[in-house]
Amino acid sequence: MEIKYNENNEITLPVYENLEQNIEALESIFADWGDIVKKKFVLERKGGSIGLYIIYVDGLTDNEMVERTITRPLLYEWRDRDCVRPDGTGNSGSAGTSQTGETEQTGETEQETSGSEKADAVFEQIFHNQTEAVDLTKQTELGQVVAAVLKGDTGIFVDGAAEAMVLSTKKLPTRAVSTPQKEAGLKGPRDSFNENFRVNTGLLRRRIKDPKMKLKQDSLGQRSQTIYGLMYMEDLVYPSLLEKIEKKLKSFEIDGIFDSGMLVHLLEEKWYSPFPQVQTTERPDKAASAIMEGRVVLVVDNSPEVIILPTTFNTFFQAADDYYNRFAVGTFARCLRYLAAYITVLLPGLYIAVTCYYPQVLPTDFLLAIAGARNDITFPIVVEVLLMELLFELLREAGIRLPGQMGNTIGVVGGLIVGQAAVEASLVSTIVVIVVALTAIASFAIPNEEFSSTFRLLKFFMIFLGAVWGLYGIMLGVLILQIHLSSLESFGIPYMMPIVSGSIDDEVEFQDFVMRKPIFTMRNRPLYARRGNRIRFRKQ
Amino acid sequence: MFSYNGKISEKQLRRMLVASTFAGSIFVLPYLSARLFGESVCTGLIVFFVLAVIYTGCIYGLEAVCRRRLQTEKSAEKDGNKVEAGENAEGDSRAEVGKNAAQDGRTKTGEKAEGDSRAKAGKNTAEGNKVQTGFEGLLYNSGFWGKGLAVIQTVRVVLRLAFYIILSIKILGEAQVPFMQKGNSDRISNLFVALPLLLVALYGAAQGRKDLDWKKEANEKEPAKGTAVEKQGRLHEMIFWVLFVPFIIMLLFGLKEADYSVFVPRLQMPVGTLLLYSYALLTFILPVDNYLYLRPAMKKGKNGLSFGAVALTVLLAIVLSLFMLGIYGIHGGGSEEMLTIAIMRYIRLPLGVLERFDVLMVWFFMTGCFLLICSALYRAGNLLGILFGRVRRLWLLTGALIIAVVTVFLLPEYNQSLTLFLCWGVFFDIPLSLLVPLLSLGIPKKYLKLLPVLALCLLTGCGAEDKNSVNDMKNVEQRGYATILLVSPGENGKRYHFDLGIAEEKRAGEDSQTEEVCGFDCGSFEELSEKFQSVKGKDLSLAHLKVILIEDAKDGSAKREEQGQLLYDMDDNEEIAKTCPVLQLEDRKEFLDYLEEAKEPAGTYLSDLVEAGQRQGKDIPWLKDYLKAVREGDGIFIYALEQTEEGWTIKCRDEMQGSGTLQKAGE
C-alpha cells in the first residue's frame, strides 16, 4: 500500500473499518522495523468472533502492562461472554454480563442492526468494559495512532470499527534522577532533571501543588516529534508573554529537536549576541522558583535541562543555594560572582593595557617585579597572554572530553606541570601565569556555564582592544558591551533589568540583585508576575 | 509587559537630561569660568546658575505649551472638526491629514510620506501619537515653518555634535594619545584614537527602531521591537553613574588639597560683563533643550523632578568647577584648557594602591564624551529623518556623523573652536533654542514683521592631525624607570644637567633592587628621553619618580629664573606626577657618591624619609605646590636634603613667595 505523507510529514490516512486494510497500511509503514511488535488476535464471544490487532514498539513500551490490561482480559476473562453496548442494547442472542456487573441483559437478537453498528458496539464494549486500562483514548486518524505508537503507546484496532484505541504504555529507557552536575550547591535539594519529559514535569509538580500550575503540551520537529511542555502559574503569568512564547514556538519548522539547547537558539531574538537570552537549568527547585515568579518553564523531552523564559542578566548570577543560605552569605556570594565576571572579562586585557601603555599606575616595586619577571621572556606581553589563555582553553576543552578521572588529571598536569615548565622555559612570566589562573578561577565562579563561556569569549575581545588602544580600548569595549546589553530583551523584558527598569519599582527590582535581601523582606514577586498579583509573603 | 511601548520613564528622562547637561559642562566650565571671570569666578558662576535655572524653566514652559497645543488639536479632531486628506505612502492606510481650524495659524501635525514632499498632518491612531507629540509633533508640521524649523534644528544639533567631537579629540589628545605614543608609536594619530569612539557612538545611537515607524507599526498586531527612544533611555540609565566616578574620587581624595577661598564671592569686574559672560556659559548646558523631544515620550510623571535634577546638576558642575579651581588655582585654571583632566594629576590615592590614577580617569571621561556624541547623534538622526522621510535609520545617523566630522575638519583647533562655539551659542544657539519652539507654535501674522528686526539684533550682537603607522608596542621591561631625578645647572651650553637613579628590575628571590646612576646634559626633557634611549637602549619613564632633587639655586636670580623654567617644563611633562615631592640639594656630588654606593634602593629610602617628615609635621612641598606657588603667588616652605653623620635628613630651608622669589625663613 502506498502511504501518503503531507508536507508536515504526517500520514493522511484514516483508520479503516476493514482490519485487513489497517494491517496492510501498518505493515507498509513499519516495514523493516525489527523492533515492532504486532499481532492479530481473534476474540471469541458468544455472538461470534471479533478480529483484533495490537501494535507497539519493543523497547519503548511496557509489555507487561499491555498483557495485563489488554490481552489477558480480552482473550481470557471475556472469552465466550456477550458483548453489550454501553446503551444497553446487545448485539448477540444470549445474555451478557458486563465486567462491572452494572448491566446484565438478555434480549432478542437485533438481526436488523447493520454490520457497521455492530462493530461500533463491539468497539465501545471493549473500550469501556473489557480492558483494564485507564489511559485509553480513541483515534480516527491512522497518523495519530502511528505517532502514538512511536512514542511508546500501544495501538489497538478492532475489525469493523473506523476507530482505533491508543493505550498509554510508555516505558522509555531513562536514567534515574541524579544530582545536578553543572549547578551543584552545598545546600538545598540534590535532584536534577533527566531526559524523561514526564519525570521532569513530575519533579516540578512535586514542588508546586497548585491547580493553577498549568502544563501546555505539544510537540516540535517534523521527524523527531519531540514533546515539549510550557509550565506556568495561570494567575501569575502575563497572557501576552505566554502568547508570545507559543507564537515563537510555532513560528518555525524543523526536522528534529534533540535538546533544549537547540530550542534556545531558535527562541533567542538576537542570534548574534554572545549573551544567552534564555536561561536553562537542570535544577527543579530553580525552575519551580521561576514558575512562582510568574515566568514560564519550557520542558523539552530528551533534555536534562529546562528553559526558563524570560530571563535577565541578573538571573544568571543567581544560584539556588543563595536562597537557602543566610542572606549575608548569599549577598557575599553574589558580590563575588559579579566580581568574578569582571575579572574574567577584563583582567587579561587590563594587564596588557597597563603594562604596555600605563606602567605609571602600578606601584613601583610591583612594576619592577613584573619587569624583572619578564626580562628573559622572548614574546611580547600580548603574545604571552594569548599563549597562556589558549593553553588554558585547550586544557579545559580536553578536560571535558576525557572521562572523569582523566579529566581531573589533565587539569592538574596542565595547570601545574605545563605552567611551571613554560615559566622555566621562559615562554611566559610568572605574573602572566597568575593572571591567567585568576581569570580561569573567576570564570568558574559564575554559576551558569553558558554565561561563563560568554565571558571567556569576550575576554579575547578585550585582550585585542587592550593591546591596540590600551585602557581606552578597554573602555570602548565596555561601552560596546553596555550598548549591546541595554538593547537586549528577552520576551519583552529588558535584559539588564533591574538596572534599566526605568524605576518601575526600584524596591522590588533591586531586592534580588547584587544584594539578596532577607526572605521576609522580599514581599513582592518580581516584575515578571502579573500586576496586581505580586504579593508572595505575608506575616500572619 | 512593559517594553515595546515607545515610552521612557521619568527616571530615564531625568538621567538622559542630567548626563548630557553634566558631561556638556564639566569639561569646559572650570577652564572657561576661570578665564572669563578671573577672581570673580564664584560670583559669575552664581549668576550663571540663576540664568541656567531661568533658561531651564523657559524650556519646560515652552514644552508644556507645545504639548497643550497638540492636545487641543487632538480633541478638536475627536470632535469631528477635522479634515482628512489621506495620503498613502506605500499602500498602507497610514497617512491622513488633519488640521486644526484654529483661527490664527493653521497648525498642523503629520508626517511626510516617502516620495512626497507635501504637507501632511495628523495621526490615525492613538499609538501613532505616542512619540510625535509636543514640540516634535509641531516640528513635523510642514505648514508655514515646518521644514525651515527642522533645518534650523538640524544645523544647531550638527554643530553641537561637531563641537563635542572636537572636545573628545582634545580630551583624547590630552589624556590618551601621549600615553599611547609612549606605549605604541610616537606617530600615532588623534584620528586613529578618536575614530573608534565615533563608531561606538554611532552604534549606540543606532539602537532600536526609528521612533517614527510607530505610526505604521501601530496598525500592526506586533509592535516594533523597542523604539530608539526606549533604547536610548536604557543606555543612559545603564551608564549614568559611570560618568560621576572620577568626580566622586576627586571629591573624596582632593578635599584636603583645595583652597576654599575661591568659594567666597567677589566682584572685580563690571556687572554687565559678568552678566554677559554668565549668559555665554549657558551654551554648555544647551542639551537641556533635549527635554523638548524627550518629554512627549515620557510616561506619566512629574516634571518637577527632572527640573530639580537639572538644576542640581548645574549646581554640582559649578561646585566641582570651584573645587577644581581651589586645587589648581584660578590663574592656573584659566590657562589650562583641560583643567578637568589636569586636576586628576594633582590628586593622590592613599594606601599606595595605585601610583597614579589620572590615566585611569580617562576611562570615565570618555564615557561622558560618548554620551554627548551619542545623544547629539541620535537627535541629529531624528531631525534628518524629519527632513528626508523614510530613509533607513542607520543611513541617517551615518549621514549626520559624516556631516559633523567634515565640520570638524573645517573648524580650527580646539581653543579657537571653543571661542567660535561660545559665540555661536551666545548669538544663535541660545536664542534659537527658545525661538524655534515658539515659532513651531505658530506666530500671528502681525508679529511676523518683527522677525527681521530680531534677526538684525542677533546679527549685530554679535583639527585633527592625521598621522599613521603603528610600530611594535613597548613592553613593560623595555623601559628604564627613574626613581630619582636630580637636576642641576647644565654645562656645555645646555640648560640642565640631569642625574637619574634608574631602578634595576627585581628578580624573583631578590630582596631589593638598587638604582643605577647616569647623567646627561640636556636642554629639555625630550632631549633627555632621546639621549637615554640612545645610550641605554630603553625608553625612559619618569612616571615612577619617588623624589625630585633640585640643586640649590642660591647664587643669584638668574638661576632662580631657570628653576622657574624647570618647573614649567616639568608641568608640561605628562609623565612626571605632580604629586612627587621636590627637595633642594646642596651638594650634588656628595649625593651621587651615596647613590652609587647604596646597597638599598635610594628612591624608596628618600620616599620613606619624606613620609616620615610629613608625619613629623613637616610641610614638604610636592611639585604641584611649587607650580601653584609660581602661578598663583602662594608661599611654600622649601625643604632640602642634607647629609649628617647618621645619614640623610630633610630640613626646612627657605620660604618661597609668589613668582618664585625666595626668602630666608626661620625654622
CB contact under 8 A, A494 and B3: yes
In a domain, B95, yes or no: no
Give the number of domains in chain B.
Answer: 2
pLDDT at A169 over 80: yes
CA distance A527 to chain B (A): 9
CB contact under 8 A, A361 and B577: no
The answer to whether B273 and B117 are in contact (CB under 8 A) is no
Residues of chain B with C-beta less than 8 angstroms from the C-beta of A241: 1
Question: Which residues 627-646 on chain B approach chain A with CB closer than 8 angstroms?
Answer: none
A526 touches chain B (CB under 8 A): no
Give the 3-state DSSP-derived string for A270-286, with helices as H, strands as E and coil as C.
CCCCCCCCCEEECCHHH
Question: B358-371: per-residue pLDDT in tens?
Answer: 767 777 788 888 99
- Give the structural domain span for B369: 10-71+142-460
Whether B522 and B405 map to the same domain: the answer is no
What DSSP line would sit under A155-208, residue for residue? EEEETT-S-EEEE--B----PPP---SSS--SSS------S-HHHHHHHHHHH-
Higher pLDDT, B662 or B241: B241
pLDDT at B524 over 50: yes
What are the grid coordinates assigned to B363, written together? 576611562
Mean pLDDT of B598-615: 82
Distance, in Å, from the CA atom of B367 to the CA atom of B204, rounded to the nearest integer, reads 12
Per-residue confidence (pLDDT) for residue A245, from 0 to 100? 92
Residues of chain A with C-beta less than 8 angstroms from the C-beta of B355: 360-364, 367
Higher pLDDT, A298 or B221: A298
- Among A357, A367, A499, the residue with its CB nearest the CB of B179 is A357
Whether B502 and B428 map to the same domain: the answer is no
In a domain, B4, yes or no: no
Residues of chain A with C-beta less than 8 angstroms from the C-beta of B472: 380
- Among A367, A377, A469, the residue with its CB nearest the CB of B196 is A469
Per-residue confidence (pLDDT) for residue B665, from 0 to 100? 36
Per-residue confidence (pLDDT) for residue B507, from 0 to 100? 64
Whether B444 and B530 map to the same domain: the answer is no
Q: From the CA atom positions of chain A, what is the Rg in Å?
A: 32
Whether B298 and B152 map to the same domain: the answer is yes
Question: B244-275: per-residue pLDDT in tens?
Answer: 877 777 777 777 777 888 888 888 888 888 99
> If pLDDT is split at 50, 70 and 90, which confidence band does B319 have?
very high
A382 touches chain B (CB under 8 A): yes
CB contact under 8 A, B237 and A482: no
Per-residue confidence (pLDDT) for residue A350, from 0 to 100? 92
> Does the predicted interface ipTM exceed a cut of 0.90?
no
Q: Which of B407, B435, B460 is the last residue of a domain?
A: B460
Whether B437 and B482 map to the same domain: the answer is no
Per-residue confidence (pLDDT) for residue A338, from 0 to 100? 94
Residues of chain B with C-beta less than 8 angstroms from the C-beta of A355: 475-476
In a domain, B408, yes or no: yes
Whether B615 and B651 map to the same domain: the answer is yes
pLDDT at B553 over 90: no
> If pLDDT is split at 50, 70 and 90, which confidence band does B208 have?
confident
Tell me what percent of chain B is helix, strand and coil, each rounded to the nearest 5: 60, 10, 30
- Among A364, A483, A527, the residue with its CB nearest the CB of B355 is A364
In a domain, B326, yes or no: yes
Per-residue confidence (pLDDT) for residue B558, from 0 to 100? 56
Q: Which of B352, B372, B350 is nearest to B284 (CA)?
A: B372
B667 touches chain A (CB under 8 A): no
Q: From the CA atom positions of chain B, what is the Rg in Å?
A: 30
> If pLDDT is split at 50, 70 and 90, which confidence band does B77 have?
low
The answer to whether B521 and B496 are in contact (CB under 8 A) is yes
Question: A266-303: per-residue pLDDT in tens?
Answer: 998 888 899 999 999 999 999 999 999 999 999 999 99
Higher pLDDT, B552 or A264: A264
Q: Which of A427-431, B437-441, B478-482 has the lowest mean pLDDT?
A: B437-441
pLDDT at A340 over 90: yes
B479 touches chain A (CB under 8 A): yes
Q: Which of B426, B460, B494 is the last residue of a domain?
A: B460
pLDDT at B61 over 80: yes
Question: Which residues 239-278 on chain B approach chain A with CB closer than 8 angstroms?
Answer: 239
pLDDT at B133 over 70: no
Higher pLDDT, B79 or B343: B343
- CATH of residue B417's domain is 1.20.1740.10
Residues of chain B with C-beta less than 8 angstroms from the C-beta of A377: 477
Question: Which residues 296-325 on chain A approach chain B with CB closer than 8 angstroms?
Answer: none
The answer to whether A22 and A28 are in contact (CB under 8 A) is no
Per-residue confidence (pLDDT) for residue B142, from 0 to 100? 45
Mean pLDDT of B561-578: 79
What residue in A sits closest to B356 (Cα-Cα)? A361
What are the grid coordinates assigned to A251, written together? 513560528
Residues of chain B with C-beta less than 8 angstroms from the C-beta of A479: 200, 204, 239, 366-367, 370
Whether B495 and B421 map to the same domain: the answer is no
In a domain, B89, yes or no: no
Helix H or strand E encompassing B540: strand B539-541
pLDDT at A465 over 70: yes
**Pairs of residues, one from chain A and one from chain B, whose beta carbons lie less than 8 Å apart:** 196
Residues of chain A with C-beta less than 8 angstroms from the C-beta of B477: 370-372, 374-375, 377
Specify the pTM.
0.78
Whether B385 and B497 map to the same domain: the answer is no
Whether B284 and B382 map to the same domain: the answer is yes
- C-alpha of B338 from chain center: 8
Residues of chain B with C-beta less than 8 angstroms from the C-beta of A364: 355, 481, 483, 503, 544, 546, 603-604
Distance, in Å, from the CA atom of B248 to the CA atom of B241, rounded to the nearest integer, reads 10
Whether B326 and B367 map to the same domain: the answer is yes
In a domain, B96, yes or no: no
> If pLDDT is split at 50, 70 and 90, which confidence band does B566 have?
confident
CB contact under 8 A, B234 and A500: yes
Q: Which long-range contacts (CB under 8 A, 24 or more apart) does A184-188 make?
A: A185/A319, A185/A320, A185/A321, A185/A324, A186/A321, A187/A321, A187/A324, A187/A325, A188/A285, A188/A320, A188/A321, A188/A324
In a domain, B5, yes or no: no
CB contact under 8 A, B356 and A372: no
Distance, in Å, from the CA atom of A201 to the CA atom of A215, rounded to the nearest integer, reads 8
In a domain, B366, yes or no: yes
Give the 3-state DSSP-derived string for B58-91, with helices as H, strands as E and coil as C.
HHHHHHHHHHHHHHHHHHHHHCCCCCCCCECCCC
A381 touches chain B (CB under 8 A): yes
Residues of chain A with C-beta less than 8 angstroms from the C-beta of B546: 364
Distance, in Å, from the CA atom of B134 to the CA atom of B291, rounded to the nearest integer, reads 10
Q: Which of B472, B514, B348, B429 is nearest to B163 (CA)?
A: B429
Whether B529 and B391 map to the same domain: the answer is no
Distance, in Å, from the CA atom of A429 to the CA atom of A377, rounded to the nearest integer, reads 7
The answer to whether B292 and B6 are in contact (CB under 8 A) is no
Whether B428 and B495 map to the same domain: the answer is no
